Amino acid sequence: MAQAFVSRSRPQIAGGLVVVTRADTALLEGLAVQRGAHPVPDADSVIAGRRALALAANPSADCFVVLLSGGASSMMAVPAEGLSLADKQDTTRLLLAHDADIHQINCVRKHLSAIKGGRLARVCSLPVVTMAISDVVGDDLSVIGSAPTVPDASTYQDALAIVGRYGGERVPASVLRHLERGARGEIAETPKPAGEHTIRRDAMVIGSSADALLGARQAAEALGYEVKVLGGPVTGEATEAASKYIDEIAMVAAKAGKTPVCILSAGETTVHVTGHGRGGRNQQFALAAAPGLARLGRFAALESVGTDGVDGPTDAAGALADSTTVARARARGLDPMQYLGANDAWTFFNALGDLVRTGETHTNVGDIQVTLIAPPGDREAS
């Protein structure tokens, strides 16, 4: 995003900061580069957040432009007064492990932060322009990256309720005290939409899962597939979402004729972590879907991947499952349900050679699923 913006904007850029997950990113003329961590913030993330606040508070141009993408919540973090980085890390890990979705996680993040929920824009005296690539279902600008430059309608009370739902007794005591004080009105709320008219702002989504699905559709049609795009987003707990997904594609498969079919969908699931294995939401989803693929009556292959090339804390973007996955696994002595229950989908698919490794794509528009269904009698979807 920064490279594209710089190429279109020279020589108007007075300076700036690029926050990335890799410290060896090539420097861009006039822009500083700072590493941040994902999906849990670290000390570098705090440095990145403080540098961004300093840049916004001391402008040297006519406009403050923010290029925002998924992952920004973790990569650029400044704990609110009275909270530590460890407080934020522990809370983030708890929410990630207990099935909270991105809207809930980012609501909490905004109320534990000195930069999110519009606070970055609040310190800037210039007009603020935000261009966002969305990894959030629904493309809500107040959720993407925890909205450092967009007013926030959520409240401390909302954040407190979310923390309580996902294990408030395990959240650091300092976090609970902070949220409770905020709910009582003792701490200033995040900037609200109705009260944020003193600084001119313009925010827009410039890329989303709809763009990824359009590209996938065009590629599939060029290959001769009949394309079906599922109407709703794929969301919820990964194992449960996979079961519903199989029901949907079974209906498509039952009506399909002799032309191979490509079914496309997008969204973002969550994983309720109870085991101690390795994996990510896409790998968990693919593993949960594998038994259903074997029962479709037509050969089918499913790939579920993160468009950023990163699925959970693993080296894979996701995984590939097909109608033979369960049979191939059992021939190797692997029990799919055992690996599913252990949240160990990475080990399962790695043994079969069915992990999808793309490397980092540097663009994040959430997750996509591609399912290919072969014509009757065909042994494989090509």
User: What residues does each domain of the chain span?
Assistant: 2-207, 209-373
- C-alpha–C-alpha distance, residues 371 and 374, integer Å: 10
**Who contacts 285 (Cβ-Cβ below 8 Å, separation ≥6)?**
234, 238, 239, 241, 242, 245, 269, 304, 369
* CA gap 308, 280 in Å, rounded: 13
pLDDT given for residue 381 in this prediction: 46
CATH node for 2-207: 3.40.50.10180
Structure confidence at residue 14 (pLDDT): 84
Tokens representing 59 are: 């402008």
Give the pair of three-digit tokens for residue 166: 């996902």
In the beta sheet, which residues pair with residue 201? 128
To the nearest 5 percent, what fractions of the chain are helix, strand and coil?
A: 40, 20, 40
- Tell me if residue 231 falls in helix, strand or coil: coil
In the 8-state DSSP scheme, what is residue 258? S
**This prediction's pTM:** 0.87
pLDDT at 231: 87
Q: Kindly give the interhelix angle for 156-165 and 102-110, rounded to the nearest 10 degrees.
A: 130
Secondary structure (3-state) at 127: coil
Residue 79: exposure state from Cβ atoms within 10 A (0-12, 13-18, ≥19): buried
Residue of 211, 285, 300 whose CA lies nearest to 252: 300
Cβ neighbours of residue 372 under 8 Å, at least 6 residues apart?
Answer: 225, 260, 261, 262, 263, 300, 301, 381
Helical (H) or strand (E) element with 319:
strand 318-322
> How does pLDDT run along the chain (382 residues), one tens digit per residue?
888 888 887 668 888 999 988 766 666 777 899 999 988 999 999 999 999 999 999 877 889 999 999 889 999 999 999 999 999 999 999 998 887 899 999 999 999 999 999 999 999 999 999 999 999 999 999 999 999 999 999 999 999 999 999 887 899 999 999 999 999 999 999 999 876 554 567 999 999 999 999 999 999 999 999 999 998 999 999 999 999 999 999 999 998 889 999 999 999 999 989 999 999 999 999 999 999 999 998 999 999 999 999 998 899 999 999 999 999 999 999 999 999 999 999 999 999 999 999 998 888 999 999 999 999 877 654 4
Q: Which amino acid is at 268?
A: E
Quote the pLDDT of residue 169: 83
- Report the pLDDT value the prediction gives residue 40, as an integer from 0 to 100: 92
Q: Is 169 exposed, middle or buried, given 0-12, 13-18 or 19+ CB atoms closer than 10 A?
A: exposed
The topology under which CATH files domain 209-373 is: glycerate kinase, domain 1 (3.40.1480)
Distance CA 377, CA 241 (A): 28
Give the integer Cα–Cα distance in Å for 218 and 231: 17
**What does DSSP assign to residue 26?**
P
296 vs 302: CA distance, rounded Å: 12
